[in-house]
Structure 1
Amino acid sequence: MEKVICKKIATATKELLNCDSSVWQSGKAVLETAATPLANQPSPYIKGVYDETKIGAVKKITIKAVHNGKDIVFYCEWESGKPNKEIGDINVFPDGVALLFPFKDIDKTPINEMGTQDYPTNAWYWRPDFEEKPKNQVSHGLSTSLYTEKSSISSYSRWANGKWCVVMARPMKATQPGEETVDLMPGKAIGFGIAVWEGSNGERGGIKAFSKEWRELVIEA
């Protein structure tokens, strides 16, 4: 399983929520992504009109993670020919990126189905129309994703020179009442995955590019 090391650093979260911070200039990992299987789509309409070879416009994404003992912060960067910031005509949707974590045993939590009833997943979901307030989602399998009432995730994003940069931060432990989410502990490792949506390709919901296997996030003590 490919590893990403989340280093502990003495940098304020406000500084980390900046794509140009020196923290993000080196040590980044490049993860390959693939199209979500058309067979996994619950909608007969989607199965009927989509060409599976055209799903998953984003083929790779650059990622890095650090924490300062209080907050954990992820840097995500990927190529996108133009920014899609809101729902447009019938074939244009917002771009997006999400981090996915298993609540329980990684070996029993299928990433391609976003978990099961007994082994759910937690996603941190960013879109430009969320106005830097990413959503916290819980899924118990395909077509079960629901936003929790509250989210303590914050973000900063920028599109420039054909690339999106998105930085997402959240306290290591859940802080909002009713916010069902994973706790991330220094000195521990947890599986994670990633998904990316290219809105100009008609991608939304389950139509996206994603990491086909869990990666291991090792959080330094």
Structure 2
Amino acid sequence: MASDKKSRRAVVARMAGAADRLFLPVLAGASLFIALSASFYRQIQETISPPKPTQTQGPRPDVTARLVDKVPVKDPDSPIWDNVPLSRISLADQSIIRPLKLSVPKETLNVRAAHDGEFIGFLLEWRDDIANTSAIKVPEFRDACAVMLTSYPAPPEARFMGTQTIPATILHWKADWQVDIEEGFQDLEKAFPNVSADMYPLLKESITGGKPPKTIDLPDFARIRLPGTWVGNPISQPKKEKPVEKIIAKGPATVTTLPTQDAVGWGRWRNGVWRVVLAKKMKASDQTAGEINIERGNTYSVAFTVWFGDQGDRGARKNPSMLHTLYVE
């Protein structure tokens, strides 16, 4: 009996082995057929409907610089700005460096950005009930605004005008500079119309009708006694070409005027609102000095600042924003 059972098991095993030898090639052939069919189907689908190119997923930008035909670099009221995305940016206090400013504006700063492949421009809009355009008298301070650009990603400390290793390019618009261009240099007579002079050292022959000579008319031998003007300090120069200064900074109290002043812009105050355009060339003119290059398709770190003259803002006393992301289409 035992031998019969053994014989039956051997017969069953041989039959199972034969079935495997017959079934496995059929299964392999079927699998190959299915794989080839799927590959052929994909090729047909790709021919009919090519796959969309994959895009690198970057950070969601806070500000997008829209591509336009021509950036209106001197026209804050241009209708082109109406077709550019609006970003609302909150302004913060400045509690790091004296003079401090601990108060914060209630309303946000409206920001729009556009580029045309040559210039990148920003339109800043904020409420300001009083237009402060003079800084001649001791208690007078001008309205101003600025855009700061640096690389992305930037550490949090880069918000304070860059770092030693991450320089910041700053575009700084000043209301009094624009008035100097529009109306001529604002000198002593602007603040004190009834000023008179009995004696002016070295320039007594220049006194006419009791009025001192204009700073813009001073000869070199007298200008040397005005240190800021003599050494070329841009704030001291009586003749302004543009209301926007292009600056490089590597941290607080390191602002330096760049050699090539090709930033442009213009501001307009109407019904308690400032609208100011600030723009720079996308290709840096002073790259060796640290100016940032702006390229299409890239993301940058950006921050904004507003100075309210009627609140005594000047220098470090201001309302800066946090660091935000800027995407350039």
Q: 1:71 aligns with which of 99, 116, 119?
A: 119
TM-score by length of 1: 0.83
Report the Cα offset of residue 200 of structure 1. Answer: 0.9
CA distance in 2, matches of 1:119, 1:16: 27
Counterpart-to-counterpart distance in 2, 1:105 and 1:3: 13
CA contact (8 A) 1:33 1:60 kept: yes
Q: Secondary structure at the match of 1:35?
A: coil
Q: Using structure 2 for the length normalisation, give the TM-score.
A: 0.58
1:28 aligns with 2:137: no
The offset of 1:149, in angstroms, is 2.4
1:122 aligns with 2:181: no
Match of 1:215 in 2: 324
1:9 equivalent in alignment to 2:56: no
1:1-221 to 2 correspondence within 5 Å? 3-10=62-69, 12-13=70-71, 15-26=72-83, 27-37=85-95, 40-41=96-97, 43=98, 46=99, 52-54=101-103, 56-57=104-105, 59-102=107-150, 104=151, 106-108=153-155, 110-131=157-178, 132-175=242-285, 180-212=290-322, 214-220=323-329
Structure 1 unpaired stretches of 5+: none
* Rg comparison, structure with higher value: 2
RMSD after superposition: 2.2
Counterpart amino acid of residue 5 in structure 1? T
Displacement, 1:110? 1.5
Inter-partner Cα distance in structure 2 for 1:21 and 1:35: 31
Segments of 5+ residues of structure 2 without an aligned counterpart are 1-59, 179-241
Identity percentage of aligned residues: 23
Number of residue pairs matched by the alignment:
206
* Residue 6 (structure 1) shift: 0.9
AA matched with 2:119? D
Structure showing the higher helix proportion among its residues: 2
